[in-house]
Every structure is written in C-alpha cells, then in structure tokens.
Amino acid sequence: MRPSFFALMATLFLVGACSDAPQTSTPAKPATTPGKSAGSPTTASGKTRIALLLPLSGGNAALGQSLQQAAEMALFDTGAKELALSTYDSGSTPDAAVEAYRKARTAGSALVLGPLFGTSATALAPLVAQGGPMGGANVVSFSNDESAASRGVFIMGIAAPPQVRRVVDHAIDAGIKRFATFAPHTPYGEQMARTLESHVAVRGGTVVAAELFDANSNDLMIAARRLAGETQGKSGGTGGGDGKLAVLVPVPPPRLTSVLSALTAAGLDKASVQFIGTGVWDVPGIGADTTLRGAWYAAPDPARRADFERRYVSTYGRPPHRLATLAYDGVALAGHLARLKPGGDFSAEAITNPNGWSGVDGIFRFLPDGRAERALAVIEVQGDRNVVISPAPGTFTSRPVN
C-alpha cells in the first residue's frame, strides 16, 4: 500500500511506556560497527522483546499512531504478559525501515511487526535472509502488497487478489458465468483485471470484456460504452445467453459514483448486471449510492471489527484507522508465538501453522512464501447497512484455529 492512500487521525500514545524496552521516535542509524551483536531477546524480567515498526513521523504519522494505539490495546486485551513491545519509527521510506529494523535487532527483538509499506518490507528481505546478529528476525509486515512477500517476510495486510477470487467464487456459485472488468488503468486496476481473468478461467466461467479507463480522466463515457458494446455483442447481451453478467469495479469512493453513473448511462445497470467489488468498498456509507445497492464485495466480516472499534473509541475517544486491526492482530499473534514454548517460538515454521490464527479481521494463515490466506465474507450493499450473504469460513482445516 502506498503512503498517499491514508488519511491522518489520532494522537501519539506511547506503547513504549508499557514495555521493558525503550521507544524510539526517530529512525535509527545503520549498525556499521564491526562485530556488533544483537542484544538479548529477553528482558531482565523474562519478557520477549518484540519490535513494532510504524511510520511515526512525516505525513503518515497519524496513521502510525492509530496502529500503535491498537497494538497497545492488544497487550491489555490479550493479557500478553510475555511480551515487551518497543516501537521504532520506520518512516515512509525503505531506508528508514532498514534503519529501524537494525535498531530493533540491536536491542535484541525476536520478531518484527511492520513496517506498513510494501517497498519498506521488500527492503528488509535481504537483512532477514542474511541472518547474523543484525538480521535474521522474521518480519510480519502490515502491507497488503503480495509482491513484497518472501521467506521470512510475511505480508499480513488484506491483499486485493484474494478478495477478487472470493467474490468471483460466490458469483459462480450463484449461477453467474460471464464476467467483465471496468477498472482504472493503474497497476492496481491491471492486477485486478488479471486476477479476475485467471480465476474465472479456473472456475469455468468466461471473461467477455475488460476495459481499463484513464484514471485521471473525467470523461468515462467512451470507455463505458466500449465495455457495454463488448458485453452486449457476446452471448446475446447482458441479460441473455449465458445469463447475468458480473462486472468487477475495483474503484473506491468518491470516484466510484462517477464510474457507476457512466456504466448506467451506457446501459450497464443493476437490473442487468451484478456489480462486484473489492475491499476498497469496505467503508462507511458505501450504500449511499443507490446504484450500488445489491452489489457484492469480499472483505472480513464487519461484526468482529465493530466490537474492536467500539472498545477502541471507549479507550482513546476517537475511531481507529481501518488498518489499526492489523497491529492489534499482529500483537495477538506475537503473544500466541511467545506461549508456544519457554522463550517463545518465532520461527517461520511456527508462524506458518496450517491451522492459522484468529484475529479481529477473521482467521488468517501464512504461507511459506510469505503471503497470507484469509477467510473472507461476501457482503451485499443494502442501503445504510451492509449484510453478510456468504459468511467467512471458520477454519482452514478440520482442526480448530489457534
């Protein structure tokens, strides 16, 4: 995820005040002293040192502060007495993240939670792979960029491709066989179009059209008419032949309103089309646009997050950033790992437990290549409320989730 996507919120709460290790609010200098070794992974009181790498300075500081508060809340809620959590400023650049990681390793951190951005997570991969005193600690990043995943760098964010696959599965189970994409001509839009095409093929459906519009243009009618023409010219139109057409529109509000207006004006309305989307629709008030009512998107079950949000507001007096659940679940995960054996087990083998882990955003598990698999619900937009029409699975295997 890119720094520009996030809004400012919250004020800084010092997680380090609840830790046996000091908090740092500025990126650390690279460790260049020959022979320098990492500190002890446990404190004098026997707690395991866990590092939290967040953007606490610059334009994303408020976002980092919201995640930090959620992490501190998790310490109390989960009773993770085994953890000594220290926070380091990873800024918004790969260099700052590398410096923060080195500082955390100098202090002896056994596991690193964060950084937030995919480019920063990618920059940590060589340090994790090299091992030694200044590397080797596994990373559980809050990024949702699957391309940043690698062995030892686990991507915890809710990635978009699984959202597309989940909603496509539901559409096909509902009898829809024909699909199209109307997305911005951006790396994200292209990735969504490719994901739809590949997964629809696996499920035996057909992608009849894919239109990538100019993300900076205010005139979407030409692209919308082109998409309508391509879909109506195959299998007898949008409502006949192979049946209803599902159109993927991975566009967030407020841009979503103009996109839907163009599609409706071109003849692709909800009477003949099933609109489907991704987690960018998972925002309050999405049903205000009547054109979107009845549309489907895949996301974590909102019921569990609602309880977290209520407790967060009660504690801090303001709502959390949508991404704050990642820090909360990350600390809860660290607590589970710390209790696996004396001194904890923060190895890749422990992190990739096939049973998975339970969190505010539902169950999730990590794959050996660093990607995460999540159990997602399919949600229908229904006016002022969104309704789960296909619940998220409760387990990945027949065994209970940790």
How does pLDDT run across 18-75, given as a tens digit for each residue?
Answer: 333 333 333 333 444 344 566 888 888 889 999 999 999 999 999 999 999 999 999 9
Beta bridge partners of 277: 297
Q: Which helix (H) or strand (E) holds 195?
A: helix 187-202
Q: Domain for residue 338, yes or no?
A: yes
Q: Domain for residue 243, yes or no?
A: yes
101 phi and psi angles, rounded to 5 deg? -65, -45
Assign 69 to helix, strand or coil.
Answer: helix
288 and 308 belong to one structural domain: no
314 and 276 belong to one structural domain: no
226 and 309 belong to one structural domain: no
Number of structural domains (the chain) is: 2
Q: Domain for residue 229, yes or no?
A: yes
Instruction: Assess contact for 108 and 39: CB atoms under 8 A.
Output: yes
**Residue whose token pair is 């994409």:** 181
Give the domain-ending residue among 274, 299, 324: 299
Q: Domain for residue 294, yes or no?
A: yes
201 and 131 belong to one structural domain: no
Distance of alpha carbon 378 from alpha carbon 5, whole angstroms: 24
Instruction: Answer whether the bond into residue 115 is a cis peptide, omega within 30°.
Output: yes
Query: In this structure, what token pair is assigned to residue 168?
Result: 């496509």
164 and 264 belong to one structural domain: yes
Assign 282 to helix, strand or coil.
Answer: coil
Q: Compute the 3-state secondary structure of the chain and give helix, strand, coil in percent, each to the nearest 5.
A: 40, 20, 45
Q: Domain for residue 15, yes or no?
A: yes
Q: Which of 264, 247, 258, 248 is nearest to 215 (CA)?
A: 258
pTM: 0.83
Assign 316 to helix, strand or coil.
Answer: helix
Instruction: Assess contact for 355 and 365: CB atoms under 8 A.
Output: yes
Q: Domain for residue 389, yes or no?
A: no
* CATH code of the domain in which 62 resides: 3.40.50.2300
Q: Domain for residue 390, yes or no?
A: no
Report the phi/psi class of residue 173: left, alpha or beta, with left for phi > 0 and alpha for psi in -120 to 50: alpha
Name residue 61's amino acid: A
Count Cα neighbours of 314 within 13 Å in the Cβ-side half-sphere: 7
278 and 322 belong to one structural domain: no
Give the domain-ending residue among 253, 268, 299: 299
208 and 257 belong to one structural domain: yes
48 and 147 belong to one structural domain: yes
191 and 329 belong to one structural domain: no
Give the domain-ending residue among 299, 315, 338: 299
User: Which residues form the domain of 230?
Assistant: 160-299
Buried b (16+ CB within 10 A) or exposed e, 224-252: bbebbeebbebbeebeeebebbbbbbbbb
Distance of alpha carbon 222 from alpha carbon 185, whole angstroms: 14
Query: In this structure, what token pair is assigned to residue 182?
Result: 């109307």
Strand ranges across the sheet with 372-374: 357-359, 362-366, 372-374
Q: Are strands 245-248 and 206-213 parallel, antiparallel or unpaired?
A: unpaired
147 and 166 belong to one structural domain: no
Residues 6+ apart with CB under 8 A from 123: 94, 95, 97, 98
The chain-wide mean pLDDT, for the chain, equals 87
262 and 151 belong to one structural domain: no
Query: In this structure, what token pair is assigned to residue 59?
Result: 């334009």
Beta bridge partners of 207: 179
Q: Domain for residue 64, yes or no?
A: yes
Task: State the 10-residue block means of pLDDT for the chain, 402 residues long.
Answer: 35 30 35 56 91 96 98 90 95 97 95 97 95 79 96 96 97 97 96 97 97 94 96 54 84 94 92 93 87 94 92 96 96 96 94 95 96 96 90 74 48
52 and 8 belong to one structural domain: yes
As a whole number of Å, the CA-based R_g of the chain is 22
